[in-house]
Amino acid sequence: MFRKILIANRGEIACRIIRTAHRLGLAAVAVYSDADRAAAHVALADEAWPIGPPPARESYLDIDAIIAAARASGAEAVHPGYGFLSENAAFAEACAQAGLVFIGPPPAAIRAMGSKSAAKALMLAAGVPVVPGYHGDDQDPDRLAAEAHRLGFPVLIKAVAGGGGRGMRIVADAQEFGAALAAARREAEGAFADQHMLIEKYIEPARHVEIQVFADRQGHAIDLFDRDCSIQRRHQKVIEEAPAPGLGAELRRSMAAAAVAAARAVGYVGAGTVEFIVPPGAADAFFFIEMNTRLQVEHPVTEAITGLDLVEWQLRVAAGEELPLARKELRRRGHAIEARLYAEDPEREFLPQSGRLRRLRLPPAELARVDSGVREGDTISPYYDPMIAKIVVWGEDRAAAVGRLRRALAATAVLGPATNLGFLARVAAHPAFAEGAIDTGFIERHRAALLARPSEVPAAAIAAAALHRLAARASAARAAQTAADRFSPWAENSGWRLGEPAAQELVLSAAGRSYRLAARRCGPGWQLEGVRGMFAAALTLADDGACRVTIDGVGRSLVVLDEGDALAVSLDGETWVMHEIDALAPPAGEELGGGKLTAPMPGKVTSVLVSRGSRVARGDPLIVVEAMKMEHTIRAPVAGIVAAIRYAAGDLVEEGAELVALEPAAPAEPG
């Protein structure tokens, strides 16, 4: 076994690998960009080496910088994690040339499976069914368009070197094809430095089922059961589970055999995942999509049902050991589900968010395993994936796992950037999810229920926020009191009045509405008036934000995170951000936009699609901004004339920066 390894990655997966390395007695070396100087993985590692500026191309994708750090640190092996250089054959070769062990498959296997088109040709030769499509070298746009016509719309444009949903577009008809191809190529060039595309028939809805495989240098190759990754947005997985629900035993065996055959066909070594599409209603049909020649984000659900540590297996196989277990020795127990908590806004098409995690409360260990690369107070950077944590639950069966997932999400809260927490809770609570009626069209089919958060803020949430602020006021007053103040009514901030119960007023804003409350002490609790009547309320606090609010004798568990001017109240997985308003302050003036279009988040302008003086209609694309590995097209909210363009392609922009100014178009003269 190695003595010291370097992790060529960041965030959650770097922390995950470091913990296993430490458990095995290995020293772990981290690398970091300037943006990650104070990151969790840097603090957790035994030593950490800087590798460059924040953009991934200048740091985490800089092979020379990472190899130099590995050699200087004395590391014997390099673990690439997932993403970045994990499926880069040139990086694996550079490690070998530097005398370092690459903890992953051989470069030849990476190349064979790293090109989606080459992998599909290989699978066809091996007799594995593949999705109908065009995987050729001719990349002329007219040829690609002709192949799309041959397959019949809808089709899927997919980057040959892609992953994580980047460089991928669904095209419904021929009119959309040219623009979609151009956008996919731009995104693929930015993420993978490769514009090659393949075209596939788009099968929707379908199940997305994958098989975890493992192989060693002694020629042993096995599967470690299946996972379902069908619930996706933007072609990226959101919820994964193992085993895949509702599959017949014969279909599971057939896919597992095909996956192992695929691994053997390329001389695979280490951990890999073979992904399949299962058409709707299919009893035995499945199609190969791709093989990921690395550890997957969702590997914890496999670990949960097998009791294994797949990172430990990776390290042992890379060190030359045989697989720790034979296939017949594996045991599958129970059901596991993973939910990915992201800084993103589901109500704005899952737009990634950035900003400081002012307060963060994740589920306790008795409810869920939590894999995270951030801590309270850290900043979600616009340069990298906006994942906050993976919340992984296990149950004796799927029903038990779904129940634990709901509880784990209800015990989670974030005060800071917008997150998908409420969306995840709505998925977990949806009857179709409970029934296992899932496929890749799940989110779109249930869009109204999953993306529309409740419009009314529950009285329990408002009461909890109000009582939390009252407790904070009292605590601050006690801290500021002098000995002489202790018996003086003039030092009170409780709303004391001669001859009547003390009253305090609070004004809270939430979900676009203001709530004015009068609070009076009533025994050990409070009497609150103004939120749908009058009621008695009390709040029990814990150090980690967990609370219990009691209203008219009925108790509810929730989480309240409070910092500065804001509170986040999480109740049953839904989060409401509230602000306390100074009741004596004048109303804020309304800011007039004047036709300005601003950046929704920090990023880089990749394309300007109009010029000054252009006449545009509502919905026309104006400018494209790349942020967090995804492209975001800014469209005209109204018809008008482009009065100014503030940025050019290649420019970096901050959130809220004005990109384009529009002037109202003069009405057309009657003809």
CA–CA distances in Å: residue 214 to residues 217, 222, 327: 11, 6, 10
> Could you say which DSSP state residue 24 is in?
T
Residue 477 — left, alpha, or beta (φ > 0 → left; ψ -120 to 50 → alpha)?
Answer: alpha
Q: 634 and 621 in contact (C-beta within 8 Å)?
A: yes
* Residue 398 annotated among the catalytic residues of the structure: no
Q: What are phi and psi of 433, to 5 degrees?
A: -65, -45
Catalytic choice (169, 185, 207, 294): 294
Of the candidates 53, 70, 56, the residue with the CA atom closest to the CA atom of residue 10: 56
SS3 percent helix, strand, coil of the chain, rounded to 5, is: 30, 35, 35
Is the omega angle on the peptide bond into residue 205 within 30 degrees of 0, that is, cis?
yes
Task: Give 217: exposed, middle or buried? Use CB within 10 Å, 0-12, 13-18, 19+.
Answer: middle
- The Cα–Cα gap between 77 and 494 comes to 63
- The Cα–Cα gap between 548 and 551 comes to 10
Residues in Cβ contact with 347 at an 8 Å cutoff, skipping those fewer than 6 apart = 451, 453
CB-side exposure of 147: number of CA atoms within 13 Å?
22
Q: Beta-carbon neighbour count of residue 139 at 10 Å?
A: 14
- The Cα–Cα gap between 109 and 263 comes to 9
Q: Give the pair of three-digit tokens for residue 70.
A: 């590995």
Amino acid at 333: R
Question: What are residue 624's DSSP bridge partners?
Answer: 607, 633
Residue 346 CA from chain centroid, whole number = 11
State the angle between helix axes of 174-192 and 141-151 in degrees (0 to 180), rounded to the nearest 10: 120
Structure-token match 């809270």, residue found: 508
Q: Beta-carbon neighbour count of residue 345 at 10 Å?
A: 18
Task: Give 664: exposed, middle or buried? Use CB within 10 Å, 0-12, 13-18, 19+.
Answer: exposed
Q: 122 and 266 in contact (C-beta within 8 Å)?
A: yes
> Could you say which DSSP state residue 130 is in?
B
DSSP-assigned letters across all residues of 73-119:
HT-SEEE--SSTTTT-HHHHHHHHHTT-EESS--HHHHHHHHSHHHH
Is the omega angle on the peptide bond into residue 243 within 30 degrees of 0, that is, cis?
yes
- The Cα–Cα gap between 199 and 151 comes to 9
DSSP-assigned letters across all residues of 478-544:
HHH--TGGGG-GGG--S--BTTB--EEEEEEEETTEEEEEEEEEETTEEEEESSSSEEEEEEEE-TT
Q: Give the pair of three-digit tokens for residue 374.
A: 């951030």
Of the candidates 545, 521, 540, 517, the residue with the CA atom closest to the CA atom of residue 530: 517
Residues in Cβ contact with 4 at an 8 Å cutoff, skipping those fewer than 6 apart = 26, 27, 28, 29, 46, 73, 74, 75, 76
- The Cα–Cα gap between 296 and 611 comes to 43
| Active site amino acids | 294
